[in-house]
A = this chain, B = another copy of it.
């Protein structure tokens, strides 16, 4: 497909845009009927489908001057596929709502599709359908579908007193990247890239189920906030051991430069889409799962080294939560 330089969505037109997007989005094996009809048909081999939806709004969830269109595509796919993984499921397909200003460059839309496609490839999923409409603000709504392959869904409510708490994936990297951006810098590159493109440990979701996890959650709002959901849903107190966390070198560097605390990034930073699980005590975990605490009888809350953590826990959307 030929693209004129600086061509806008209005100049290209809806149907030509959809054709161009579709040509960039390969359809995988779980999609029995892909884009182009009234609806798609996706395989649900065990007679159930896992489904989740997230909306990303320009200015709130991403900035076009901080992230490329490709980055936003990777991130939009990742945060939804991570929610599927957090049920112990395998991501299969995305449906993508693309509401965009008429003057958006076509190139932005196509690079966004490339980002979606590449992140889908990492997770073994594909784009099965979507909708393209005009809006004043760029709003991306993604629905991810997945399959449990016969396993029971891993809920937030299954943690039991005595379980260990373990995490898999990066924590605090995206928040450190955001701190860098906010100050007008673009390095260290590792955290900047982590902010632009999260790297959820997709296969660790089904793996956690196989290892006997009792609860599983995607760390999207920050570890303390998200483990707080587990604590309340399960009726347990979660106690974390700050010494158990890996304070990676780029986080320490950023914390030193900003006067913040690397541990705060790890405990309260969102959007890395790590997975946090509880497992029965005594479970043998692969190395990429790190035990960072345990669940016990008590108040449904999360403590760090025996106390409530003083740092800010997570972020909210409407300002007074």
Q: Which residues of A are interface residues toward B (Cβ below 8 A)? A: 9-17, 32-33, 36-57, 60-61, 83-84, 86-87, 89, 93, 95-99, 102, 128-137, 139, 141, 143-146, 148, 153, 155-156, 216-218, 233, 316-321
| A150 CB, min distance to chain B CBs, angstroms | 12
**A95 near B53: Cβ-Cβ < 8 Å:** yes
Query: What are 7 A-to-B residue pairs whose CB atoms are below 8 Å?
Result: A15-B321, A32-B48, A41-B148, A49-B145, A52-B95, A54-B131, A139-B139
Q: Given A38-B86, A128-B51, check contact A319 B148 (CB 8 Å).
A: no
Contact partners of A33 in chain B: CB under 8 A: 153, 155
Chain B residue with the shortest CB-CB distance to A96? B53
Contact partners of A137 in chain B: CB under 8 A: 135-137, 139
Most buried by B among A56, A83, A93, A136: A136
Contact partners of A56 in chain B: CB under 8 A: 133
CA gap between A23 and B101 in the complex, in Å: 34
Chain B residue with the shortest CB-CB distance to A215? B37
**B47 near A17: Cβ-Cβ < 8 Å:** no
| A204 CB, min distance to chain B CBs, angstroms | 14
**A318 near B38: Cβ-Cβ < 8 Å:** no
CA gap between A48 and B14 in the complex, in Å: 29
**B53 near A38: Cβ-Cβ < 8 Å:** no
Counted per complex, copies of this chain come to 2
Of B41, B143, B321, which is within 8 A of A13 by CB?
A: B321
Q: Given A134-B57, A317-B132, check contact A39 B87 (CB 8 Å).
A: yes
CA gap between A39 and B82 in the complex, in Å: 10
CA gap between A320 and B14 in the complex, in Å: 8
CA gap between A201 and B8 in the complex, in Å: 38
CA gap between A46 and B146 in the complex, in Å: 16
**A9 near B99: Cβ-Cβ < 8 Å:** no
Chain B residue with the shortest CB-CB distance to A84? B39
Q: Given A38-B217, A55-B97, check contact A133 B49 (CB 8 Å).
A: no
Of B44, B84, B135, B143, which is within 8 A of A60 by CB?
A: B135
Contact partners of A45 in chain B: CB under 8 A: 47
**A49 near B44: Cβ-Cβ < 8 Å:** yes
Q: Given A51-B145, A55-B99, check contact A134 B87 (CB 8 Å).
A: no
Contact partners of A40 in chain B: CB under 8 A: 50-52
| A84 CB, min distance to chain B CBs, angstroms | 6
